[in-house]
Amino acid sequence: MIKKNNVFIVAEAGNNHEGDFSIAKKLIDKASEAGADAIKFQTYDVDNFIDPKLKKSYEKFKKFSLSYEQFYELSKYCKKKKIIFFSTPFDLKSAIFLNKIQKIFKISSGDNNYTDLIKLVARFKKHLIISSGLSSLDGLKNVYKILKKIRGKNLKLSFLHCVSSYPAPINQINLSNISLIKENFNDVNVGYSDHTIGTKVPLYAVLAGARIIEKHFTLDNKFSNFRDHALSLDPKNFRKMVDQIREAENILGEKKKNILPLE
């Protein structure tokens, strides 16, 4: 699962399958081949997620949605491909379903003030990753208090620094917030969810102390005009990012100052 000694790399497939189950399976294949530790999807009941009055959004997300049965099959397929499956719930019903098939939960930036969802997932006692986009430090402190009250010392919690812009300009990323979050929450694992173009910023995030990297993942950046494909990495570039991160881990080494044999 999420290990302290290695950066946990998540391929964020999200809705890049666009409702096609066979494409979702191909995303799993390629994420596994590219070296991702996990692949993450998004699960929702469209009627509890999008207001039908927002016709364009409602129809798009209805088209993109996969059934609970299909997610169950994807979770089994991930075991076969030796990659961790998990999905972000966007409603309470979906969270209850996902609790049956996954060991990690993620709360999206747009829901880090959705208190009912956070409380529900907190009671599942599974590792919880919360993205901090759209949130101030005080907002994160409020989330932390809620989780501390429910979970006590056994927090099993990660906060991801995130800038919720698609794509996010690199001069607005503020990776120094990784250390800021660490300073304010010393019992929380800290990572980074990336919305920039390319592989550079996730690598810098690791050098800044991120222990989880989440990056959008697609089969092809020109798959369709759906926004997320353009800011995702294709399999070749995702592999490049993974290799860069593993090399950085090797260079960073251990936080232990001894006289080395080679010296």
Q: Quick one: pLDDT at residue 2? A: 72
Cβ within 8 Å of residue 139, ≥6 positions away: 112, 113, 132
Q: Quick one: pLDDT at residue 3? A: 66
- pTM of the complete model: 0.96
Taking the C-alpha atoms of residue 48 and residue 28, their distance in angstroms, rounded to an integer, is 27
Q: How many Å separate Cα 109 from the centre of its chain?
A: 10
Q: Quick one: pLDDT at residue 1? A: 65
Taking the C-alpha atoms of residue 104 and residue 121, their distance in angstroms, rounded to an integer, is 10
Q: Quick one: pLDDT at residue 125? A: 94
> Distances from the Cα of 201 to the Cαs of 66, 97, 118, 197, 214, in angstroms?
31, 34, 29, 8, 11
Consecutive 10-residue runs of the chain (263 residues): their mean pLDDT?
82 97 98 98 95 93 97 98 98 98 98 97 98 97 98 97 96 98 97 97 98 98 93 97 97 92 93
Which residues on adjacent β-strands are paired with residue 105? 128
Cβ within 8 Å of residue 171, ≥6 positions away: none
Contact 37, 9 (CB under 8 A): yes
Q: Quick one: pLDDT at residue 4? A: 63
